[in-house]
Amino acid sequence: MKKIFNKSFITNFLAALIIAAGYFSPVYGELIKTIGFFALSGALTNWIAIHMLFEKVPLLYGSGIIPNRFEEFKDSIKDLMMHQFFTVENVEQFIETEEQQGDKVLNLEPLLAAVDYDRIFEGLISSIMESSFGAMLQMMGGEEALIPLKEPFTAKIQVTLTEMVESDKFKAALKQGLNAHQIGEDIISKIETVIDKRLAELTPELVKEMVQKIIREHLGWLVVWGGFFGGLMGAAFYFV
Protein backbone atom coordinates (compact mmCIF):
# COMPACT_ATOMS: atom_id res chain seq x y z
CA MET A 1 0.00 0.00 0.00
CA LYS A 2 2.84 2.37 0.88
CA LYS A 3 4.48 1.70 -2.50
CA ILE A 4 1.24 2.52 -4.34
CA PHE A 5 0.38 5.76 -2.55
CA ASN A 6 3.65 7.54 -3.19
CA LYS A 7 4.39 11.01 -4.54
CA SER A 8 4.16 9.88 -8.16
CA PHE A 9 0.77 8.20 -7.77
CA ILE A 10 -0.72 11.07 -5.79
CA THR A 11 0.48 13.65 -8.34
CA ASN A 12 -0.95 11.72 -11.29
CA PHE A 13 -4.19 11.07 -9.40
CA LEU A 14 -4.63 14.76 -8.56
CA ALA A 15 -3.98 15.70 -12.19
CA ALA A 16 -6.65 13.22 -13.28
CA LEU A 17 -9.08 14.69 -10.73
CA ILE A 18 -8.43 18.18 -12.10
CA ILE A 19 -9.27 16.92 -15.59
CA ALA A 20 -12.46 15.33 -14.31
CA ALA A 21 -13.35 18.53 -12.45
CA GLY A 22 -12.94 20.46 -15.69
CA TYR A 23 -15.67 18.40 -17.35
CA PHE A 24 -18.13 19.09 -14.55
CA SER A 25 -17.21 22.66 -13.66
CA PRO A 26 -19.81 25.21 -14.81
CA VAL A 27 -17.14 27.90 -15.07
CA TYR A 28 -13.63 27.87 -16.50
CA GLY A 29 -14.09 24.27 -17.51
CA GLU A 30 -11.70 24.49 -20.45
CA LEU A 31 -9.04 26.20 -18.33
CA ILE A 32 -9.29 23.55 -15.63
CA LYS A 33 -9.11 20.74 -18.19
CA THR A 34 -6.10 22.30 -19.89
CA ILE A 35 -4.28 22.66 -16.58
CA GLY A 36 -5.16 19.07 -15.71
CA PHE A 37 -4.04 17.61 -19.05
CA PHE A 38 -0.74 19.51 -19.01
CA ALA A 39 -0.14 18.54 -15.37
CA LEU A 40 -0.89 14.89 -16.11
CA SER A 41 1.34 15.00 -19.18
CA GLY A 42 4.29 16.44 -17.21
CA ALA A 43 3.88 14.10 -14.26
CA LEU A 44 3.23 10.99 -16.34
CA THR A 45 6.16 11.68 -18.67
CA ASN A 46 8.56 12.08 -15.76
CA TRP A 47 7.17 8.95 -14.08
CA ILE A 48 7.74 6.92 -17.26
CA ALA A 49 11.27 8.31 -17.56
CA ILE A 50 12.06 7.30 -13.96
CA HIS A 51 10.56 3.86 -14.54
CA MET A 52 12.70 3.45 -17.66
CA LEU A 53 15.85 4.10 -15.64
CA PHE A 54 15.31 0.89 -13.70
CA GLU A 55 13.18 -1.30 -15.96
CA LYS A 56 13.59 -2.48 -19.52
CA VAL A 57 10.59 -1.46 -21.62
CA PRO A 58 10.12 -3.40 -24.88
CA LEU A 59 10.67 -1.39 -28.07
CA LEU A 60 11.92 1.64 -26.13
CA TYR A 61 15.63 2.08 -26.80
CA GLY A 62 17.66 3.25 -23.81
CA SER A 63 15.28 1.92 -21.17
CA GLY A 64 16.67 -0.13 -18.30
CA ILE A 65 19.93 1.79 -18.38
CA ILE A 66 20.88 0.99 -14.77
CA PRO A 67 20.68 -2.83 -14.99
CA ASN A 68 22.07 -2.75 -18.54
CA ARG A 69 25.12 -0.75 -17.43
CA PHE A 70 25.69 -2.57 -14.17
CA GLU A 71 29.30 -3.45 -15.10
CA GLU A 72 30.07 0.25 -15.42
CA PHE A 73 28.39 0.88 -12.07
CA LYS A 74 30.57 -1.79 -10.47
CA ASP A 75 33.70 -0.25 -11.96
CA SER A 76 32.62 3.18 -10.73
CA ILE A 77 32.07 1.84 -7.21
CA LYS A 78 35.53 0.27 -7.18
CA ASP A 79 37.12 3.40 -8.63
CA LEU A 80 35.47 5.54 -5.95
CA MET A 81 36.63 3.28 -3.13
CA MET A 82 40.19 2.71 -4.34
CA HIS A 83 41.04 6.15 -5.72
CA GLN A 84 39.19 8.41 -3.31
CA PHE A 85 39.33 6.60 0.04
CA PHE A 86 41.76 3.68 0.18
CA THR A 87 44.80 5.13 -1.54
CA VAL A 88 48.34 4.13 -0.59
CA GLU A 89 49.03 7.75 0.35
CA ASN A 90 46.04 7.90 2.70
CA VAL A 91 46.97 4.64 4.42
CA GLU A 92 50.62 5.70 4.74
CA GLN A 93 49.57 9.03 6.21
CA PHE A 94 47.34 7.27 8.73
CA ILE A 95 50.12 4.89 9.82
CA GLU A 96 52.67 7.68 10.12
CA THR A 97 50.24 9.86 12.08
CA GLU A 98 49.59 7.02 14.50
CA GLU A 99 53.33 6.56 14.97
CA GLN A 100 53.95 10.27 15.51
CA GLN A 101 51.19 10.48 18.10
CA GLY A 102 52.72 7.58 19.97
CA ASP A 103 49.80 5.25 19.41
CA LYS A 104 50.61 1.57 19.21
CA VAL A 105 50.64 0.44 15.63
CA LEU A 106 51.69 -2.97 16.90
CA ASN A 107 50.30 -3.93 20.31
CA LEU A 108 52.80 -6.26 21.96
CA GLU A 109 50.90 -6.76 25.22
CA PRO A 110 49.03 -9.87 24.01
CA LEU A 111 52.35 -11.26 22.78
CA LEU A 112 53.99 -10.74 26.18
CA ALA A 113 50.96 -12.24 27.91
CA ALA A 114 51.22 -15.34 25.70
CA VAL A 115 54.84 -16.03 26.64
CA ASP A 116 55.22 -19.38 28.43
CA TYR A 117 57.31 -18.26 31.42
CA ASP A 118 57.14 -21.72 32.99
CA ARG A 119 58.86 -23.16 29.95
CA ILE A 120 61.52 -20.45 30.11
CA PHE A 121 62.18 -21.33 33.75
CA GLU A 122 62.33 -25.02 32.93
CA GLY A 123 64.83 -24.25 30.19
CA LEU A 124 66.91 -22.26 32.65
CA ILE A 125 66.95 -25.15 35.14
CA SER A 126 67.85 -27.59 32.39
CA SER A 127 70.76 -25.39 31.29
CA ILE A 128 72.04 -25.06 34.85
CA MET A 129 71.80 -28.78 35.53
CA GLU A 130 73.69 -29.57 32.34
CA SER A 131 76.41 -27.07 33.18
CA SER A 132 79.34 -27.47 35.57
CA PHE A 133 77.08 -26.27 38.38
CA GLY A 134 74.81 -29.27 37.95
CA ALA A 135 76.98 -31.59 40.03
CA MET A 136 77.16 -29.04 42.85
CA LEU A 137 73.37 -28.57 42.83
CA GLN A 138 72.86 -32.32 43.01
CA MET A 139 74.58 -32.25 46.38
CA MET A 140 72.22 -29.47 47.55
CA GLY A 141 68.95 -31.06 46.48
CA GLY A 142 69.17 -30.89 42.70
CA GLU A 143 66.42 -29.21 40.69
CA GLU A 144 64.17 -29.00 43.75
CA ALA A 145 66.57 -26.48 45.25
CA LEU A 146 65.81 -24.06 42.39
CA ILE A 147 61.98 -24.27 42.60
CA PRO A 148 61.73 -21.36 45.11
CA LEU A 149 63.33 -19.16 42.44
CA LYS A 150 60.48 -19.74 39.98
CA GLU A 151 58.13 -16.95 41.06
CA PRO A 152 60.76 -14.21 41.50
CA PHE A 153 62.38 -15.27 38.21
CA THR A 154 59.05 -15.13 36.35
CA ALA A 155 58.21 -11.72 37.79
CA LYS A 156 61.66 -10.41 36.92
CA ILE A 157 61.61 -11.69 33.34
CA GLN A 158 58.14 -10.17 32.80
CA VAL A 159 59.36 -6.78 34.01
CA THR A 160 62.51 -7.07 31.90
CA LEU A 161 60.61 -7.91 28.71
CA THR A 162 58.08 -5.13 29.32
CA GLU A 163 60.82 -2.57 29.88
CA MET A 164 62.61 -3.81 26.78
CA VAL A 165 59.64 -3.41 24.42
CA GLU A 166 58.81 -0.01 25.91
CA SER A 167 62.34 1.33 25.60
CA ASP A 168 63.14 4.05 23.07
CA LYS A 169 65.78 1.84 21.49
CA PHE A 170 63.31 -0.98 20.86
CA LYS A 171 60.65 1.41 19.55
CA ALA A 172 63.15 3.00 17.20
CA ALA A 173 64.18 -0.41 15.90
CA LEU A 174 60.53 -1.44 15.53
CA LYS A 175 59.66 1.77 13.71
CA GLN A 176 62.60 1.28 11.39
CA GLY A 177 61.43 -2.24 10.67
CA LEU A 178 57.89 -1.11 9.97
CA ASN A 179 57.82 0.19 6.42
CA ALA A 180 54.72 2.40 6.19
CA HIS A 181 54.81 2.30 2.40
CA GLN A 182 55.03 -1.49 2.26
CA ILE A 183 52.34 -1.87 4.92
CA GLY A 184 50.13 0.57 3.02
CA GLU A 185 50.54 -1.37 -0.22
CA ASP A 186 49.75 -4.65 1.54
CA ILE A 187 46.62 -3.20 3.11
CA ILE A 188 45.47 -1.70 -0.19
CA SER A 189 46.03 -5.03 -1.92
CA LYS A 190 43.88 -6.83 0.65
CA ILE A 191 41.15 -4.17 0.50
CA GLU A 192 41.08 -4.36 -3.29
CA THR A 193 40.76 -8.15 -3.13
CA VAL A 194 37.80 -7.86 -0.75
CA ILE A 195 36.11 -5.23 -2.93
CA ASP A 196 36.65 -7.29 -6.09
CA LYS A 197 35.18 -10.35 -4.41
CA ARG A 198 32.11 -8.46 -3.22
CA LEU A 199 31.57 -6.74 -6.56
CA ALA A 200 31.84 -10.08 -8.34
CA GLU A 201 28.83 -11.22 -6.30
CA LEU A 202 26.71 -8.32 -7.54
CA THR A 203 24.08 -8.97 -10.19
CA PRO A 204 22.20 -6.46 -12.36
CA GLU A 205 19.20 -6.89 -10.07
CA LEU A 206 21.25 -6.12 -6.95
CA VAL A 207 22.78 -3.05 -8.57
CA LYS A 208 19.32 -1.87 -9.57
CA GLU A 209 18.04 -2.35 -6.02
CA MET A 210 21.05 -0.47 -4.59
CA VAL A 211 20.48 2.55 -6.83
CA GLN A 212 16.73 2.44 -6.27
CA LYS A 213 17.21 2.48 -2.53
CA ILE A 214 19.44 5.54 -2.79
CA ILE A 215 17.63 7.76 -5.29
CA ARG A 216 14.20 6.45 -6.30
CA GLU A 217 12.34 8.01 -3.38
CA HIS A 218 13.84 11.40 -4.17
CA LEU A 219 13.18 11.02 -7.90
CA GLY A 220 9.49 11.07 -7.03
CA TRP A 221 9.82 14.83 -6.69
CA LEU A 222 10.51 14.99 -10.42
CA VAL A 223 6.99 13.71 -10.97
CA VAL A 224 5.57 16.23 -8.51
CA TRP A 225 7.35 19.17 -10.10
CA GLY A 226 6.59 17.84 -13.58
CA GLY A 227 2.90 17.96 -12.73
CA PHE A 228 3.19 21.38 -11.11
CA PHE A 229 5.05 23.07 -13.93
CA GLY A 230 2.97 21.20 -16.49
CA GLY A 231 -0.13 22.72 -14.91
CA LEU A 232 1.41 26.20 -15.01
CA MET A 233 2.28 25.74 -18.67
CA GLY A 234 -1.28 24.59 -19.32
CA ALA A 235 -2.66 27.74 -17.72
CA ALA A 236 -0.24 29.89 -19.71
CA PHE A 237 -1.13 28.04 -22.93
CA TYR A 238 -4.83 28.64 -22.32
CA PHE A 239 -4.39 32.41 -22.12
CA VAL A 240 -2.02 32.69 -25.08
Averaged pLDDT, 123-128: 78
Query: What gap in Å lies between CA 71 and CA 196, rounded to an integer?
Result: 12
Asked whether 34 and 224 are in contact (CB, 8 A), the reply is no
Q: What is the pLDDT of residue 1?
A: 45
Query: What gap in Å lies between CA 5 and CA 214, rounded to an integer?
Result: 19
Instruction: Summarize pLDDT for 203-219 with one digit per residue, the tens.
Output: 888 777 777 777 766 78
Q: What percent of the chain has pLDDT over 90?
A: 14
- Write down the pTM of the prediction: 0.51
Greater pLDDT, 235 or 198: 235
In this structure, of 30-39, 154-163, 174-183, the range with the lowest mean pLDDT score is 174-183
The mean of the pLDDT values for the chain is 78
Element (H, E) at 37: helix 29-54
Q: What is the pLDDT of residue 58?
A: 82
Kindly indicate the confidence band of residue 52, based on its pLDDT and cuts at 50, 70 and 90: confident
Instruction: Summarize pLDDT for 5-24 with one digit per residue, the tens.
Output: 678 888 999 999 999 999 98
Positive or negative torsion for Cα 6, 9, 15, 19: negative
Q: What is the pLDDT of residue 107?
A: 63
Q: What is the pLDDT of residue 132?
A: 66
The domain limits of the chain are 7-68+215-239, 72-199
Q: What is the pLDDT of residue 122?
A: 81
User: Of how many residues is the chain composed?
Assistant: 240
